Structures are given as structure tokens and as C-alpha cells.
Amino acid sequence: MSLTIANFVLFYAAWFACVLSMSSPERWWWSVLGALAAVGFQVAVSRDRRRDLTAIACATLLGPLADVVLLYTGILSFPPSAPLILGTLPPLQMILLWSVFATTFFSSLHWLVSRPVWFVAGGAVGGPAAYYAGAQLVSGIRFLPGTRIGLFYIGIAWAVVLPIVLVATTRCLSLYSRAEAA
């Protein structure tokens, strides 16, 4: 099996683990296990660990900001079985999903990341599709003021946050390169 296919399979396995663990507070560890498997595999087989780890760090830190905005505007809500961290941050599963998503940037989605306009468009469609699929699997995930409008706003949030994550990743890598050259 190619590394790209393995990355793709592990991404979706981790996605299902994270989403399904939201249905019960006793299953939180599913998300941790799934994320560790996907991130660990990608880092282990990566041809450029610094690049992958930087993308994972940037996505983990910046991606959830989109969810924070969606939560505080009331566009998105999670079930009580997936509590907010410190009452303000998205559930653990959502933060881990951003980490797992970043493992695809330079592997199974490299063809899309290398085309920024397509990457943003793909995120504007794929992000809401993932949230909708999650809501079909876990009761209590809600979109307001209605599903269609809520998903539209999620698409906008993803179209904004994905370029920020990519620019941050590129800038951090550039800083690393300059520091090494000095």
C-alpha cells in the first residue's frame, strides 16, 4: 500500500474515531488514539518531518479559531457529550481533527495544497461536508440559523482559515531555514 493511500485511510479512520467519540464522554480516548495513529504514522514516514510537524502545529493552533468563531456566533453547537474545553475552546475531538487534517497537506492532499485557490475552494466545500457528515453520525451537533445557512458560514470560515494555516506554515518554515543559514 502506498504511503499516500495509508495517509488517506488513517485520516478517515481518525476522523471517524474523533466524530464517533463525541457521542459519549466515555469514548474521548477514541479520538486521542485515532489522532495519535494518524499523526504518528505521518511523522514516522515523512520525507520532511519539519514541514509536516509545522503544518500540524499551525493547523492545531489556528484551525480551532474557526470553530471558536462559529461557536460564539451561535452558528455551531456540540452535544453535551462533547464539552467545550475550559468552557470556551472547541471539544478535544475538534482540535484533534485539525491536527489529523494537517497530516494530509503534504501527502494525500498535496495535489490540492499546491494549488491554493483549489485548496481554499476544496476547504469551503469539504469542511461543511465533514461537519454535516459528523452531525448525521452524532446527535446534538447543530447548525444555526438552519443547516444550509450554518454550513454556508462554515464554508466561509474554512475559506478564511485554510490560507492562514498555509501561510503560517510557510512563514514558520522560512524562519527555520533562515535560522539554520545564520
Q: pLDDT tens digit string along 66-119?
A: 999 999 999 999 999 999 999 899 999 999 999 999 999 999 999 988 899 999
Q: How far apart are CA 157 and CA 149, in angstroms?
A: 12
pLDDT digits (tens, 9 = 90+) for 121-144: 999 999 999 999 999 999 999 999
For residues 146-152, average pLDDT = 97
Q: How far apart are CA 79 and CA 56, in angstroms?
A: 26
Q: Which domain holds residue 140?
A: 3-181
pLDDT class for 153, splitting at 50, 70, 90? very high
Q: Tell me which residue of 144, 160, 166 sits closest to 55, measured CA to CA.
A: 166
Q: How far apart are CA 173 and CA 51, in angstroms?
A: 7
182 pLDDT more than 80: no
pLDDT digits (tens, 9 = 90+) for 15-51: 999 999 999 989 999 999 999 999 999 999 999 999 9
Q: How far apart are CA 173 and CA 157, in angstroms?
A: 24
Structural domain count of the chain: 1
Q: Give 77's strand partners.
A: 142
Grid cell, residue 31, equals 479520538
176 pLDDT more than 90: no
Q: How far apart are CA 180 and CA 87, in angstroms?
A: 40
- How high is the pLDDT of residue 1? 64
181 pLDDT more than 70: yes
Neighbours of 98 (CB within 10 A): 23
Q: Using alpha carbons, list the distances in angstroms from residue 47 to 44, 57, 145, 160, 182.
A: 9, 17, 44, 28, 24
Grid cell, residue 162, equals 485554510
2 pLDDT more than 90: yes
